[in-house]
Homo-oligomer: A and B are copies of this chain.
Amino acid sequence: MSTSPRIQPARPAGPQRYVPADHSRVTFDGGFWQSWTETVRTVTIPTQHKRLEEEGFLEVLDFDKPAGPLARPIQPSGLSMQHFFDSDFGKWIEAASYTLKTHPDAALEAQIDEIVAKLEKGQMADGYLNSWFIRREPEKRWTNLRDLHEMYSMGHLLEGAVAYFEATGKRRFLDVMIRAVDHIIDTFGREPGKLRGYDAHEEIELALVKLYRVTRDPRHLKLATYFVDERGQMPSYYDEEAKKRGENPADYVFTTYAYSQAHMPVREQTQVVGHAVRAMYLFSAMADLAHENDDPTLKEACDRLFDNLTGRQLYVTGGLGPSASNEGFTREFDLPNETAYAETCAAVALGFWTHRMAQIDLDAKFTDKLETVLFNGALSGISRDGEHYFYENVLESHGQHRRWKWHYCPCCPTNIARFITSLGQYFYSTRENELAVHLYGTNSAELSLGNRFVRLRQETNYPWDGDIRLQLAVDRPSRFTLRLRIPGWCRNAELSVNGAPVDLERSMTSGYAAIEREWQNGDEVRLALAMPVDRIYAHPAVSEDGGRVALKRGPVVYCVEETDLGGEPQRLRLPASAELSPRYDANLLGGATVLEGTALEAGTEGWENVLYRTAPPSLRERPFKAIPYHLWANREAGAMAVWLHEA
């Protein structure tokens, strides 16, 4: 067992691969993301620790005490949730770590160190680490990979350990987790005497790639590769495992291993199925391994699955996984609005996946979806005050949906937190002679291109405005290609360098405009993205959206809330001819562009005690306002709709 690997800097990307920016070198010093990143750092991170404390999660780690009722059961059925509570520590530590380099915080580090110390103390002699099993039923460890999430939990701890090491240089947590990984290597694999298992809830695979990128230990990459390759091989490990437990595999509550994307080998999968978060974590790992192992078969599988997801199974908000019963996918084109599950974690994880895809295949089809989840289906998961959450991100409500302070399965809060505290990495990628700009928003960035160093300043009111100014600072004139994503939603873009227009049509590749030149200090690139209000229609097979229209401006999806309308937005009928005007409202939840127009409203006069009648409802004009979807449910509770009926 190797517990002291060499720690190396990230490998330079090969000719076809990009390296994401170091998030700590991207500073959101103005504009849209400044307040979000500050809120998450100053409110979300500390309140999440407080909740972990209040809800008894920290007690779970007191390995010296008798187990007793570990943590308060938050729901009568909530106990089983505790099998994987370790994952929440992992994600919280990861989210917190991302803030430490730019904002050193000794108290925060102490909170993390305390958790790490407890984990280290509890870790079993052979490296096994899971607080539930160690304290409650150690004899049951590794007996049910199908249901009990042991490697999922370790994977999140591992991601936390890597992030904390990278932020602070402290090795203790990383070493704990390397010992845990060594134990997994000793236990699972194709070698004789090992179990040919893999966790039904993917997560450890992508975490192992992160670890490998720090340690360069080939065994770490090999383990990730084994898990992905073994997945879905028949006969199923889960069948064998159930029989060993004396259970009938046919009694599996989710009926099919498609729930865990384990119904067939991953390279044969063509339809995105099962639990949405699991699917996104798996696909993220597949993209990682396509990258690290130069494996085109995994890239091809990812491409097919991406096309299936985005062509048939994705909400307009970037939400995904419509059904609560399996927290995931059902049939293609099944996108109900009011019952949308669309878990925050799944949208965040779609961000992870698309980001990874773009590093190996710079195509705006990936980063367009990254932008979609960022401004809509993921961001909707956290309140403007930074301490209330949605687990399910519905696209329609009758007022029954409220943001909560905490949840019996609190996986989403820390997921959205780690997404936002590491946001900088999603904005830029580089390779030897290239700098790719994926996202827009005011920030100042320091970027490495091979051994060159570029400073870049973005100034823009994006997403409220499509005018973007990029100023470059280079130590000496330097030839490289600047690639700028021209968003798929934009039908009219103008690009210039130091005032000279760039012929966009000729410079476009896969949705990115390329400018190759010798860059001088102070060069200025301007990108003007026309941002009219778009009416969006869904594929006719999406029956829930038939006869309906969604409003979008730039990357931002809009919704109508009852608190603005004074009535249920479900009663609006938007004429095709209705004019819609954007207006920046500085007083709306920290400032946002709203859309205003006049629609028709189905009146309820004459409907007293009448539920059905042969005359359609009468329609009357009514001014209305739409707000960005991600801001909904931050004010008075009430009905909401993304998809409006057309008149």
Contacts and interface: CB of A to CB of B under 8 A. Distances in A.
A546 B611 contact: no
A340 interface: no
> Size range of the interface on A?
35 or more
Contacts of A607: 539-540
B571 A541 contact: yes
Nearest to A619: B540
Given A609-B311, A610-B311, A617 B537 contact: yes
A253 B75 CA distance: 10
A400 interface: yes
A540 B645 CA distance: 11
A604 B571 contact: no
A292 interface: no
A465 to B, nearest CB: 20
A607 B310 CA distance: 12
A568 B547 contact: no
20 contacts: A310-B611, A311-B609, A316-B612, A333-B398, A334-B398, A338-B543, A534-B614, A535-B614, A536-B614, A537-B614, A538-B612, A540-B570, A540-B571, A540-B602, A541-B570, A542-B611, A543-B568, A543-B570, A546-B645, A547-B645
A312 interface: yes
Contacts of A396: 543
Interface in A559-578: 568, 570-571, 573
A311 B398 contact: no
A331 interface: yes
Nearest to A399: B331
Most buried by B among A314, A333, A645: A645
B338 A336 contact: yes
Given A331-B400, A543-B398, A538 B611 contact: yes
A646 interface: yes
Contact of A611 (B535, B539, B616): B539
A251 B253 CA distance: 23
Nearest to A546: B645
A541 B612 CA distance: 11
Contacts of A312: 611
Given A537-B617, A547-B646, A307 B571 contact: no
B76 A612 contact: no
A459 to B, nearest CB: 29
A107 B610 CA distance: 50
Contacts of A537: 612-617
A603 interface: yes
B539 A610 contact: yes
